[in-house]
Amino acid sequence: AQKITQTQPGMFVQEKEAVTLDCTYDTSDQSYGLFWYKQPSSGEMIFLIYQGSYDEQNATEGRYSLNFQKARKSANLVISASQLGDSAMYFCAMRYTGGFKTIFGAGTRLFVKA
């Protein structure tokens, strides 16, 4: 069965510094996708970044990058140059390629300090 683990319930980071949000997953499938979503206090869910299990390069989207280590089954999100607007809940998620069900982790609440 699929499982996503986010071990950091809350994290603090100083503005302009980089921060890494941890995500580990458990799956027996070889082909899957990994996702990160952001949920600010306003409540909407915002897609940030996607990594396919067969992608050789780590995914990057602007200040977001996904540190994918397949052997360790980890998919950490790195946010560079943190901004106050990055304060939010961040969810890691996974779905089998071709599947319909996405499993979400419990989330990490990030606080960016001025």
Partner 1 sequence: DTAVSQTPKYLVTQMGNDKSIKCEQNLGHDTMYWYKQDSKKFLKIMFSYNNKELIINETVPNRFSPKSPDKAHLNLHINSLELGDSAVYFCASRGTYEQYFGPGTRLTVT
Q: Which residue's CB is nearer to partner 1, number 68 or number 91? A: 91
d(CA 94, CA 103): 5
CB 1 within 8 A of CB 100: no
Region from 18-26, 33-41, 64-72, 76-84 binding partner 1, contact rule CB under 8 A: 33-41
Q: Which residue's CB is nearer to partner 1, number 10 or number 12? A: 10
Q: According to the binding rule CB under 8 A, does residue 45 interact with partner 1?
A: yes
Angstrom CA distances, 84 to 28, 87, 88, 100, stand at: 38, 6, 9, 34
Q: According to the binding rule CB under 8 A, does residue 106 interact with partner 1?
A: yes
Q: Which two tokens stand for residue 16?
A: 């302009």
d(CA 38, CA 107): 9
Q: According to the binding rule CB under 8 A, does residue 25 interact with partner 1?
A: no
Q: According to the binding rule CB under 8 A, does residue 66 interact with partner 1?
A: no
Residues lying near partner 1 in the complex (CB under 8 A): 33, 35, 37, 39, 43-47, 50, 52, 89, 91, 100-104, 106-107
